[in-house]
Structure 1
Amino acid sequence: MLRTRTLGAATMVALLLSTTAVLANDIVIAGGRVIDPETGLDAIRNVAIEGDRIVAISEFPLAGDVVIDATGHVVSPGFIDLHSHGQNIGDYRMQVIEGVTTALELESGIVPVSDWYEDQATKKLPMNYGASAGWTHSRIATFSDTDPLATAAFFTDAQGRTDWKQDIASPEQSVRIMSLLEQGLKDGALGIGVNAGYAPGFGHKEYYALAELAKKYNVPTYTHVRYASNTEPQSSFEAIQELISLAAITGAHMHLCHINSTSLSDIKATMALVEKAQAQGINVTTEAYPYGAASTVVGAAMFSGPDWRDRMDSTANNFQLGADRMTEDELADYKANKPGTFIVWHFLDEEDPAALSLLDVSVTNPATAIASDSVLWSYFDENGNILLYEGDEWPLPDNVFSHPRSTGTYTKILRSYVRERGVLSLSEAIRKMSLLPAQTLEDSVPQMRTKGRLQVGMDADIVVFDPATVSDLATFENANRPTVGVQTVIVNGGFSVRDGELVLDAPNGRAIRNTVVN
């Protein structure tokens, strides 16, 4: 068991300057290429950890109770995922083995927030966790006149209803929606998740009220914008323009989720819109994942109306269920009878250089954080029904499936964008996967000010990987293939991955919450 000791300033200086360490630290990572995206450090160094903090970074040898040989490896801050729907133990395990040390459910969020945090705290989780207050959950509960449940099933089971998706809330309904969200913020939610793509019929006044509430509590909104369309009216451009206007008017921090998938092939125009807003000091941030396919429920509101195929340049063949593409008959059947079923939607063909270049516009932009939008693992039961996998088997059962981004987002960046294509430098990729996400949250969440950095005094959330071999193996046909090339993952000073193997039941994860908790 790791020991916790406190080092004084004089001891730290001695460790940094002496050629031989006098004291033994809990863990030393020796001889790796240490990259800190905030200070610009990129050099061979030794890193010492005591308790849950980094206590020394030295070019001289350091002694430790446990010494990790990182020769030929990169030592980086742990990756921070702002957009992770998979919040079960299997989901966490699949992400921690690719270097994710903090996974947050911000786009959809949940309510009741207190119930969710209390439940997560009872589990042995290998990484840090947190969530926003879920606007869609609040809308579903309000329109169905029920109490919300802090589960994914509460959202998927409501996909057969259209009222919460398309109807304007009455004054009484608006009061309840906002009350549920405000209580969530008081319970520690990291902001307001506005999954507007699933409920595009809500009113402009309601969205304004959400921004005002976020500003009141000094937390962001995290929006999946209400439209995904290449053509006007009701285009992606229009929806992003709406988000920016609210940030400008209210002063709220408005975070735009997965600008790649919501912009489709109009990404150059929408990315330019965000850049112009940021240049004018409007508090808008964004994220993207490195895939030309999204994951969503088949009954999502965006796939309705007589012209959705033209607006989204898609047919049933763009939808994948398990390993197979769907037919029009299958699509109609699932939309009518199983609308909460998760499918993969191919909106860009990465094999087409022109389409890949559009994806790169979002992924490589310096202002864009990398976020996975990981989705829960599913399986077919004996009757052909699709169920969410919530078990704790490891490796995951052979029959479960998901989107490859649920286990390959960060290692795909390191493999494709850095090593193979060279469109991102290694230090820039690490910045977009660690420091930039931390900075997105740190104004409202002080815990994030000590994450995403590899410096003395920062949290010991660290990943060690081999830059020559780190790779995503997951495919659309078989996403259940864990990443390779990650040697070590340390979360709050404890091993979650050691010698390339998952540490089962590592209890290292901690709750990430805002500062208005009662």
Structure 2
Amino acid sequence: MTRRALMAMAAAATATAITPVASLAQGNPVLRNNEEGPYDLVIRHGRVIDPETGLDAVRDVGIKDNRIAAISESPLQGAKVLQAEGQVVAPGFIDLHAHGQQLPAAWVQAFDGVTTALELESGLLPISRYYDLTAKEGRPINYGASVAWTYARIAEKEGVEPDGTILWFQAAFSKDKWQNSVATDEEIDRIISRVETGLQEGGIGIGINAGYAPGYGRKEYHRLAELAARYGVPTYTHIRYNSVKEPQSAFEAFEELVALSAVTGAHMHVCHVNSMAGRDMANCVALLKSAQARGLPISVESYPYGASSTTVGSEGFRGDNWLERWGASDASVMEMNGQPLDQAKIDELQASSPGSVVVFHFLQPDKSEADQALLDLAVLYPGGSIASDAMPWQTAAGGLVEGDVWPLPEGAFAHPRSTGCFSRFLARYVRERKALSLSDALAKMSLYPARILQTSVPQMLRKGRLQVGADADIVVFDPATVKDNATFVEPTRLSTGYRHVVVDGVPIIEEAKRIADARPGRPIRRQV
């Protein structure tokens, strides 16, 4: 396909009415009349935007008992007042794909406007342990996780019990049975039983990190989709293949996902379609849109970067033809700690430290208009959400940055999307390129993610909206200055332009400064 054709497709995407998947729950569930004051907190005289109702006007917002109690043209009185004149007041951003579930990672995302960060693609296991550990430490933003199929598979294939942390998963890349072997019927039964236990403990769907275990059998994936349909929860899939070449192409993997949605009725959520489809974006996006047009419950997310972050031991980077399958030029498109790698170094890391985190530039939008047009097909996908795929922060020595640590230590490293995903989308796609309206952009970061979850997790009916009765998760920012500052070399540089961030009615960032002891974040969890 020519560059002109790709750019035309991207332009058409922006012109399409951005609507959620038709089969997902819709409506305005929290609309009600203003409550009487006084209020615990008032956000004064900002440009209030609610993507669901279309409100875009200067208003005061009154907050009482962790909820939005009033939205008024007239001044409201409150025990505390946050000034917002000249600022946008919007629903807090909901990140469906945040691997950084540690306390420092949560603070970094708060400075990117995120008020809810969920680990859905990979998930965690055991679910109860994850929620218990996180609640004990506390979080400034809301948190939650899906049930990790890969963890259940590793446990059965390798005979090791998961501990509810991402470090356990990273260590599993040194083992060799779970990634490329078909499970027996008995093993599948036990894997499904572990996943079902996680759902019964409140996990918010099933994380199917298939790209890390591409050798699973089709019947195993079918059983997972059946389980999701039975419990009425989404699956969040990182498809099993990353290749522009057939067989075992990304297109084939998307076909598998579409077929399972059609056969089982399960809601299949596609994680980071940008990095999954890569240079075959046009064909893969057309396939997914066609499936949605036929009423299949499929949803999509993307992040506004042309580079992914993953482990060097992932199956997608192994074999003599891995660059050809990605459509990449040479091994230098892979970096570690900001430094390009060659094939010899990649081979060394895969042998000695396969869990090492690397950055892989599958597209180069800053260098190529054609690559930018491909990325646009994903980022501007009609009805699609923005999700960061934020990585955990690692120390210069390769350990995990966790605990009550602030600021991030010198040399801390992660993909810059962990710091600036949502600000980058606002700065580049809305302010600089004017590729979509501010209200439509906010929908992709708040309302659409909430709608993906609200059928199975009713508390999400009160999130992603700026309406009376909604949870008071609110971000106040300057649309003229909001900006991502993190780079692949300096990923710790926080986003700027956010004046206030409020979670469950409690300011966690006020006048662009962190409220160090604020821990109002609540668990997002299925009620069972």
Relative to the length of structure 2, the TM-score reads: 0.92
Q: Match for 2:153 among 132, 135, 139? A: 139
Contact 1:125 1:505 (8 Å CA) reproduced? no
What CA distance in whole angstroms lies between the structure 1 residues aligned with 2:269 and 2:35? 43
The question of 1:305 aligning with 2:319 is answered: yes
Contact 2:43 2:82 (8 Å CA) reproduced? yes
The question of 1:359 aligning with 2:371 is answered: no
Question: Match of 1:372?
Answer: 388
How do 1:5-84 and structure 2 match up within 5 A? 13=34, 23-84=37-98
How do 1:84-123 and structure 2 match up within 5 A? 84-123=98-137
Q: Match for 2:353 among 331, 338, 361? A: 338
Question: Match of 2:25?
Answer: none
Q: Match for 1:328 among 343, 349, 358? A: 343
Question: Secondary structure at 2:319's aligned position in 1?
Answer: coil
Q: Match for 1:316 among 331, 336, 339? A: 331
What CA distance in whole angstroms lies between the structure 2 residues aligned with 1:12 and 1:257? 37
Question: Secondary structure at 2:41's aligned position in 1?
Answer: strand
- Residue type at the aligned position of 2:336: L
Query: Which structure is higher in RCO with an 8 Å CA cutoff and minimum separation 6?
Result: 2
Q: Match for 1:219 among 227, 230, 233? A: 233
Q: 1:12 to 1:217 in 2, by over 3 A?
A: closer
Query: Per-residue displacement from partner, 1:155-181 (whole Å, max 9, x unpaired)?
Result: 111112221000000122112111110
1:14 Cα deviation after fit: 7.6
1:149 Cα deviation after fit: 1.5
Question: Secondary structure at 2:179's aligned position in 1?
Answer: helix
Question: Secondary structure at 2:455's aligned position in 1?
Answer: coil
Q: Match for 1:201 among 191, 195, 215? A: 215
1:13 Cα deviation after fit: 4.9
Relative to the length of structure 1, the TM-score reads: 0.94
What CA distance in whole angstroms lies between the structure 2 residues aligned with 1:491 and 1:101? 6
- Residue type at the aligned position of 1:317: S
Question: Match of 1:229?
Answer: 243
1:497 Cα deviation after fit: 0.8
Question: Match of 1:242?
Answer: 256
What CA distance in whole angstroms lies between the structure 2 residues aligned with 1:225 and 1:98? 27
What CA distance in whole angstroms lies between the structure 2 residues aligned with 1:449 and 1:155? 32
What CA distance in whole angstroms lies between the structure 2 residues aligned with 1:88 and 1:316? 31
Between stretches 243-252 and 147-156, larger displacement belongs to 147-156
Contact 2:34 2:468 (8 Å CA) reproduced? no
Q: What's the RMSD between the two structures over aligned residues?
A: 1.2
What CA distance in whole angstroms lies between the structure 2 residues aligned with 1:257 and 1:453? 23
Moved over 6 A (4+): none
How do 1:152-231 and structure 2 match up within 5 A? 152-231=166-245
What CA distance in whole angstroms lies between the structure 2 residues aligned with 1:317 and 1:12? 58
Contact 1:107 1:132 (8 Å CA) reproduced? yes
Q: Match for 2:499 among 458, 466, 487? A: 487
The question of 1:420 aligning with 2:469 is answered: no
- Residue type at the aligned position of 2:354: P
Q: Match for 2:268 among 226, 245, 254? A: 254
- Residue type at the aligned position of 1:379: T
Contact 1:319 1:345 (8 Å CA) reproduced? yes
Question: Match of 2:477?
Answer: 465
What CA distance in whole angstroms lies between the structure 2 residues aligned with 1:284 and 1:243? 9
1:66 Cα deviation after fit: 1.1
Between stretches 293-302 and 500-509, larger displacement belongs to 500-509
What CA distance in whole angstroms lies between the structure 1 residues aligned with 2:390 and 2:206? 19
Question: Match of 1:267?
Answer: 281
The question of 1:291 aligning with 2:313 is answered: no
1:268 Cα deviation after fit: 1.2
The question of 1:433 aligning with 2:441 is answered: no
Contact 2:111 2:495 (8 Å CA) reproduced? yes
Q: Match for 1:411 among 423, 428, 449? A: 423
What CA distance in whole angstroms lies between the structure 2 residues aligned with 1:391 and 1:507? 13
Structure 1: 5+ residue stretches without partners: 1-10, 16-22
- Residue type at the aligned position of 1:53: R
1:67 Cα deviation after fit: 1.2
1:231 Cα deviation after fit: 1.1
What CA distance in whole angstroms lies between the structure 2 residues aligned with 1:195 and 1:263? 15
Percent of aligned pairs with the same amino acid: 50
1:12 Cα deviation after fit: 5.5
1:391 Cα deviation after fit: 3.7
Query: Per-residue displacement from partner, 1:136-157 (whole Å, max 9, x unpaired)?
Result: 1111111111222211111111
Structure 2: 5+ residue stretches without partners: 1-31
